Amino acid sequence: MTTPWRKVLRDFWQERTRSFLVVAAIALGIAAFSAVLSSYAILDRELNQGYLATNPASATLRTDAIDDDLLKAVAANPGVAAAEARRVVAGRIKAGPAQWRSLMLFVVKDYADIRVSTINREGGAWPPGKGEILIERDAFQVANVRIGDAATVKMPNGDFQTLRVTGGVHDVGQAQARMENIVYGYITLETLALLGEQPFLNHLKILVKGDRFDRVHIGSVAEEVRKILEKRGHAVRGTDIPAPGKHPHADLMGMLLLAILSFGLLVLALSGVLVVNLLTALMASQVRQIGMMKAIGGTRGQIASIYLGQALLLGVAAVVAAVPLGMLGARALCRYLAVFLNFDLTSFAVPLWVYALVALVGLAAPLLAAAYPVAKGSGITVWAALADFGVSDRGFGTSAIDRALAGVSGLGRPLLLAIRNSFRRRTRLALTLLTLSVGGLFFMSALNVRASMINTLDHLFASKKFDLSINLGTMYPIDRIERAIAKSPGALRSEGWIATEASVVVAAAEAPATPSSGDGLHGGGGRGGGHAGGADASRDRFPVLGVQPGTNLLKLEISEGRDLRPDDTDALVMNTALAARNPLVKVGQTVALRMGPAESPWRVVGISREAFSPPVGYVSRTYFERASGHVGMANTVRVALDRSDPASIDRFKEDLDRNLEAEGIKALSTQSKKESRFGFDQHMLMIYVFLVVMSVIIGGVGGLGLMTTMSLNVLERRREMGVLRAIGASSRVVWLIVVTEGLAIGAMSFIIAAVIAGPLSRGLGDLLATVMFQSELSFFFDPNGVLIWFVASLALSALASFLPAWNASRFSVREALGFE
Amino acid sequence: MLIELQGLNKTYDTPAGAFIALRGIDLTIEAGEFVAVVGKSGSGKSTLLNMVGGIDRPTSGSVSVGGTAIQGMSENELAIWRGRHVGLVFQFFQLLPTLTVVENVILPMDFCRTFPPAERRKRALSLLDRVGVADQANKLPSALSGGQQQRVAIARALANEPPVILADEPTGNLDSTTAREVLTLFRSLAGGGTTVLIATHERDIASVIDRTIQIADGAVIR
């Protein structure tokens, strides 16, 4: 080892306390960075491997009853590798005393021969026999059942039936059941017949031959299959082609990881600030050594490399400390996301390129941060360096700030000294304030984003003046429905509405490109009810609600135009998402909607603000009464209750079910406002926790930064401390002066953060909401954030300056004055 | 001749106006001479030495050392040149505190790559032996007395076998016995062919030096 390298090592060791602080800060950044990078590598591999192993369908054609001949004909097509028929039916499930849950039933003809979109056996029996149901592994909790239990299942057209839960499956392609609050069940055709449904399969899933990842290729094969179906007299209601080879939630996962990645880089950048402070101070304190090295023949490059070596050593130590931590973090993150996305991890192996990239970034970051102070410090001439009397850049009192500070009086002398001291090293102060303020910013933003999200949800749910919505599936006379409701105690008001689906009829030239996969988190708005769509059913369909004229149960938050009026017949109010999907349609214009087989013109009278919602249109029920003769009928009901606690709602649901049954009405599904809010709150909580964890880590880096700064300040002012002691300052006073200086910096950072937090959190909240929900937030500033951060920043500053202050108070006069 | 200064002037701009540190210095020093520059504090002794060592630049005039004109060199060229041709000794020793004694002596050889890496340590130890502190080789400078530190600094100055040693107040921080020993050491170096130029306050040095250059208000008096 050459002598310059020995110096690097010894200096590093001599400065070990400060070096350790800086290493800890860099390590935090690298740990976050490597955790996310490894998670990405692991999840990307495992998710797609797991998903591809199920042979996901290249395309699904929705048609009518599929028979074996048709399947054979499709499979005979040279472009088709495999074809299978399935069916998906929505119903309800209830086990024991639990409440009714939405049920999505997947019907498979032969469980022994599943080749497309396979499901994995996960304990219990396989296949399900007649009268038996398998439950998706994540849905057991939602349904509150165990293998061996009996569950009551009800289909739109059928009666209550008891099925036995005989086993579990893992369906990789489905979103997490708990998050969606839905039960996935798997049955045979025989069981479907038992449930009162016609036993046929109508979803044709195909797997293409050749390039399974080529969307164009899949499209052309699907088109050929459609022709085969139509030639044989089957109507094709639509074709779904998911993004090839990509798990439906891969994008969402990518976004989450990107958010954490950018956060890791931010922490790394902030830790760079500490490197700048440390090296600037180190080079300032070694200015004579630098001069001496130049005097004995060291070139600027040789001297710069000694101090860059110092930075490199910081990076090496940080990488060594951070990588194991990052890998632990990656495992935790992967496990969490694997549960969230409902798939299994087979290996945590991290590819070599991840380690290489982490090492590269971890070593480059401190070098980059050190570049400027080192270039500046090593450029000093020998003469200037040897003439330097220790640390003194510029006398205090030469700038306007100094004179303004000197003008501050009325405070105790030691306090004045502390406040003026904090301004002595401006660059260091600015950089320290930067790291501390960013921590505060994130914390306050986290609270503001949370408050804004709650506020937004409050707005959203405030427009819904009902507690329960009951989906009937088909039309029933409203007077019979109301009779059933009147017999159920607890209902305040009720309205019968008509739900259907529509699509905007547009001229071919301006037809918007259909999104590849509109599978958002809450994309299941139209799930389980309404009319079957028209012959042209496509992904552009959206639910339309025909509400009771002059409704008391829906008060839309109108952002443009006006709400529906009792006398409206052809008026349409679009919600935010629907308006966003049809940017060409403006308030005041007429738009043609296709509902069922018919097209009709509608006047757009207003746009309603609805965050986090899929596209919905609101019209008056009057239209349907006139157009389709459903006078006094409804297929969906909204009820306002006098008590909205879960127990009361459950009691009411049971009573209502019984009373509807007595009227000959079969409810397809019921959902309380509480239930639908639950899913939103789950997602919000995730974002909120993420932001708070972020701010705590950044706050930690800020604290380390302040500790470094205070420790440097104390080191450089040893002589002054000695003078203070010499003129009679007690240890306690010296201690107090240093802690006060730290507190002054903390208070300054608080003010900066508090001022910027408002606008920043508004932008951050909107960004997160846009990324995750394609929606905007109703901004709300949470004053608690300011209060909590005020206390936290002072506590952090006190903590960070405690040790340096204690050191300072221990200097003896002789030691301090003799210090060079 | 080894060192030749011609028409050397140095002016510093200070807030209180221009300060003339050297005025019209013409000086030649031969190889192997032991020369003392004497004068009061602020007379220009250190500035004169700095000019010869390439630490500071003249406002006008020329400095030639061993036939090389150094006033036109860049900072980096000067550093490289200095490492090989000039050994510097200071009043406050200026040893690097985190390097051991022997490492301090090796450092100039590492910087200038003058001797093969395998030989550097051996050479450093022999230089320490020559100045009488070989037994301190593996200690840190802070463990040494002032006199010992100055001997190490002299060994360091000799590391690259420079033809010139410049010493600015080398005895200013030492007791009189130690100061005498250090001067004797310089004397023996000059006897070995190295040119030694020292700036000093000491009056009682006539017995060890070859020549005295007296300087006052930036000009050579005698």
Contact A281, B60 (CB under 8 A): no
Please check the confidence at residue B134 and state whether its pLDDT lies above 90. yes
Find the mean pLDDT for residues A439-444. 85
Chain B, window 70-129: residues with a beta carbon less than 8 angstroms from a chain A beta carbon: 75-76, 79-80, 82-84, 87-88, 90, 94, 96-99, 103, 106-108, 110-112, 117
Q: For A68-82, A227-241, A759-773, which range has the lowest pLDDT when averaged over its residues?
A: A759-773
Residues of B in contact with A12 (CB under 8 A): none
pLDDT of residue A724: 75
pLDDT in tens, A153-175: 888 766 778 999 999 999 888 87
Answer whether B156 sits within 8 Å of A296, measured CB to CB. Answer: yes
Inter-CA distances, B127 with A3, A784, B32, B154, Å? 17, 70, 19, 9
Single pTM value for the model: 0.73
Stated length of chain B: 222
Three-state DSSP state, A106: strand
pLDDT in tens, A330-344: 998 888 888 877 888
H/E element, B104: helix B101-112
Answer whether A289 sits within 8 Å of B97, measured CB to CB. Answer: yes
Nearest CA in chain A to B53: A295
A381 touches chain B (CB under 8 A): yes
User: pLDDT higher for A393 or A358?
Assistant: A358
pLDDT of residue A47: 81
Inter-CA distances, A546 with A487, A573, A623, Å? 25, 11, 8
Q: Residue A28: pLDDT band by 50, 70, 90 thresholds? A: confident
pLDDT of residue A264: 80
How far is A385 from chain B, CA to nearest CA, in Å? 10
Closest CA to A337 of A34, A33, A32, A46: A46
Answer whether B107 sits within 8 Å of A3, measured CB to CB. Answer: yes
A296 touches chain B (CB under 8 A): yes
Find the mean pLDDT for residues A347-367. 91
pLDDT of residue B162: 92
pLDDT of residue A402: 65
**CA–CA distance, A703 with A348 (Å, rounded to integer):** 33
Please check the confidence at residue B166 and state whether its pLDDT lies above 90. yes
Chain B, window 40-59: residues with a beta carbon less than 8 angstroms from a chain A beta carbon: 50, 53, 55-56
B159 touches chain A (CB under 8 A): yes
Q: Residue A305: pLDDT band by 50, 70, 90 thresholds? A: very high
Answer whether B111 sits within 8 Å of A296, measured CB to CB. Answer: yes
**Tokens, residue A690:** 């993420």
**CA–CA distance, A139 with A98 (Å, rounded to integer):** 14
**CA–CA distance, A476 with B192 (Å, rounded to integer):** 120
| CA A654 to chain centroid | 36
Residues of B in contact with A2 (CB under 8 A): 110, 117
How far is A284 from chain B, CA to nearest CA, in Å? 15
Q: Residue A98: pLDDT band by 50, 70, 90 thresholds? A: low
pLDDT of residue A538: 43
DSSP A303: H
pLDDT in tens, A252-275: 778 777 877 888 888 888 888 888
pLDDT of residue A313: 92
pLDDT of residue A158: 65
Q: Residue B152: pLDDT band by 50, 70, 90 thresholds? A: very high
Residues of A in contact with B117 (CB under 8 A): 2
- The residues that bridge with A240 in the sheet, in sequence order, are A60
Q: Residue A367: pLDDT band by 50, 70, 90 thresholds? A: very high
H/E element, A362: helix A352-378
pLDDT of residue B194: 92
Inter-CA distances, A465 with A557, A646, B130, Å? 12, 17, 99
**Angle (CA) A268 A271 A273, round 5°:** 125
Q: Which of A10, A296, A386 lies closest to B107 in CB terms?
A: A296
Cis status, amide bond into A127, omega within 30 of 0: yes
User: pLDDT higher for A773 or A66?
Assistant: A66
| CA A702 to chain centroid | 25
**CA–CA distance, A437 with A708 (Å, rounded to integer):** 16
Q: For A362-371, A386-395, A483-492, B12-21, which range has the lowest pLDDT when averaged over its residues?
A: A386-395
**Tokens, residue A646:** 């879960």
How far is A300 from chain B, CA to nearest CA, in Å? 6
Answer whether B96 sits within 8 Å of A7, measured CB to CB. Answer: yes
pLDDT in tens, B156-165: 999 999 999 9
Residue A673: count other Cβ atoms within 10 Å of its Cβ.
19
ipTM above 0.90, yes or no: no
pLDDT of residue B1: 66
Please check the confidence at residue A393 and state whether its pLDDT lies above 50. no
Question: For the residues of A377-422, what is the DSSP string, one character each?
Answer: HHT--HHHHHH--SS-SS-TTSSHHHHHHHH--SS-HHHHHHHHHH
pLDDT of residue A530: 33
Please check the confidence at residue A647 and state whether its pLDDT lies above 90. no
A538 touches chain B (CB under 8 A): no
Please check the confidence at residue A356 and state whether its pLDDT lies above 90. yes
**CA–CA distance, A689 with A447 (Å, rounded to integer):** 10
Please check the confidence at residue A486 and state whether its pLDDT lies above 60. yes
A297 touches chain B (CB under 8 A): yes
- The residues that bridge with A152 in the sheet, in sequence order, are A94, A162
pLDDT of residue A638: 93
Residue A699: count other Cβ atoms within 10 Å of its Cβ.
21
pLDDT in tens, A786-814: 898 899 889 989 988 888 888 888 777 66
Residue A511: count other Cβ atoms within 10 Å of its Cβ.
11
**CA–CA distance, A735 with A721 (Å, rounded to integer):** 10
| CA A303 to chain centroid | 47
Q: Residue B135: pLDDT band by 50, 70, 90 thresholds? A: very high
How far is A379 from chain B, CA to nearest CA, in Å? 9
pLDDT in tens, A189-199: 999 998 888 88
